[in-house]
Amino acid sequence: MIPIKTESAWKGTSNCRTCGIRDMVLFADLTEDDFKMIHAPVDDLEFGVGASLFQEGASALGIFTLRAGMLKLVRNSADGRQRIVRVLRPGDVAGLEALAHAHYDSDAVALTEVSVCRVPLAVIHTLQAQSPRLHQKLMEKWSGALKDADDWLVDINFGTARTRVSNFVLKMRGALDTQTVTLFAREDMGSMMDLKMETVSREISALVRDGVLAQLDKHGRVYRILNLQQLQAA
């Protein structure tokens, strides 16, 4: 873990170019002088695959902006089953529910190696007190995250297996290169789509065989979309 000061993150000296601190517009109204008034550090953290950033029900200490990699948010049911409710990618924020109550409402687990900035709640509360507009933006971001989670589940949990997998692939397109898709473990993908792991693997292989996707790596994680129209029509 390498702690960095909020001021450094604001200036971009900590490689925060894709971090939510700068891109999610939460701090758009603040100047560097505002940041100098904040003494709590922003933690620059890295986690390996499978590592937990926080757990459902745990006391919330801060929010996490994702700089690199992918996270899954997991809810635990009363009967012990787990359900992935959303996948987060660079620029997304985990733990926004901490702004409304004192605990996290899901597990946050690294799907890949990840790099995050952990912003302490003390920092957020200080900024909220200084900027009513920031408070509004935070609430809008949280509301948007809830809607995104609902949209994710609706789009990938209805229709045939081909439809679900195709919609999932479309959602996993890169922000800058929309023709490139980065996937992850088939078991996790199946959990999100309510499909068996074997079904997910079979459908992806079929998309490659039909010339819709091209596999770019030997691990079956990175693909290029060759026929967007056919993918959207599935």
pLDDT of residue 85: 84
pLDDT of residue 3: 52
CA distance 183 to 174: 11
Positive or negative torsion for Cα 151, 117, 109, 169: positive
pTM of this structure:
0.77
What's the Rg (C-alpha) of the chain?
19
pLDDT of residue 16: 44
Which stretches of the chain score pLDDT less than 70?
Answer: 1-41, 134-135
Burial 151-178 (b: 16+ CB within 10 A, else e): ebbebbeeeebbbbbbbbbbbbbeeeee
Q: What is the pLDDT of residues 82-136, one digit of tens each?
A: 888 888 888 788 998 887 788 999 999 999 999 988 888 887 777 777 777 766 7
SS (H, E, C) the chain: CEEECHHHHHHCCCCCCCCHHHHCCCCCCCCHHHHHCCCCCEEEEEECCCCEEECCCCECCEEEEEEECCEEEEEECCCCCEEEEEEECCCCEECHHHHCCCECCCEEEECCCEEEEEEEHHHHHHHHHHCHHHHHHHHHHHHHHHHHHHHHHHHHCCCCHHHHHHHHHHHCECCCCCCEEECCCHHHHHHHHCCCHHHHHHHHHHHHHCCCEEECCCCCCEEEECCHHHHHHC
Q: Residue 177: what residue type? A: D
Which structural domains are found in the chain, ordered by start?
A: 2-155 (2.60.120.10), 159-233 (1.10.10.10)
